[in-house]
Structure formats: structure tokens, C-alpha cells
Amino acid sequence: MDSSRRITLPLILLLMITFLSCASKPEEQIQLAQKAMDQAKEQYAQEFAPTDWKNAVQAWEDAQGLIARESYGEARSLLLRAKSRFEKARDIAKGRRDELFKEIQGIQKAIDIRYRGVKANLETGKLSTKAKKSLEDACKDIDSAIEKLNAEVASGDYTPAKFTAQKTLRAVYEAEKELQGGKK
């Protein structure tokens, strides 16, 4: 009997500890998954890694449902899954955003070079009064578009920034064409 008590008592204690650890709300896992979700949001994972984001959100929501039913053991594994999926979505989104940022920088460089040429020709070129007025108006529009582009890039809104960059480059192209056609 004595030896059976020695084995049974530690076994019961081990089972109680295991039960109690599963019975408590997984606060740490919730916080880690929430942090991973916030980091993924910062990288616009919803936009740049939509499938991975959706899978992570599904795991998060399933875990929240289990927590509400106090099924903490199952919720722990889903929270770990959500965390890893949010991290994956974050990493994918960051890579895609970095690529988009480089593309925007290239377009900005082209805008700067070509727009400088337009402005130089506007100041030194012999243009009709009508053409000069039209180009000055176009330059005002281009200047405001460049400001908008810089603000979008600074705030990390790369998708609208790419659209603005392309639109601005097109406006510079149109100004170049108008400059060529308006010379005396």
C-alpha cells in the first residue's frame, strides 16, 4: 500500500497541475496572437497577403469562440496557429510592400528627371502665350500631385501612391508633348 501511495500521490498532483494549467484562460497566448495581428495590420496584410490574413483571422475567431465557451486547451492551440499565420501574413505583406515602394521610388525618379526638363524648357523655351499659360497650369497640377504622392508615401499608403505616381508621370508626359507642340 505504501508504494502505491507514493506513485499515486505524485500522479494525482501532476494531473491536477495539468488540469489547472488547461483550465485557466490563455492570456499570454492571446496577447502574443494579438501582437502578431497588430504587426500584420501595420504591414497592410489584409491588402498584400489576403489569403494568409483570412486564414489567421479565422483561427483567431475560432479561438475566441472556444475561449467564450471556456475550452481553453483547444483555444491555446488555435491561438498559436493564429499567431503563426499572422506572422506569415505580416512577412509576406512586408515583402510585397517593399517591392511596391521600390517601384514607386523608380516612378518618382522618372517624374523628377522629366519634370525638371519640362520646367527648364518652360522657362527658356520660346512658347506662344497660350501654350505657356497652359503649361504653367499643368505645372501647378503636377506640383500638387507630387505633394499628394509624397504624403501618401510618407504615410505608407503605397497602393494609392502607385496610382498617384502613374497619374503624375502621365501628366508630365502630356506636358512634354504640349511643350513640343507649343514651340514657336
491555446: which residue's cell? 76
Q: Are 25 and 79 in contact (CB under 8 A)?
A: no
pLDDT tens string 51-89: 999 999 999 999 999 999 989 989 999 999 999 999 999
Residue spans per domain, the chain: 27-94, 95-182
Q: Are 85 and 56 in contact (CB under 8 A)?
A: yes
Q: Are 172 and 142 in contact (CB under 8 A)?
A: yes
Q: Average pLDDT in the 24-41 region?
A: 94
pLDDT above 90 for 122 = no
pLDDT of residue 66: 93
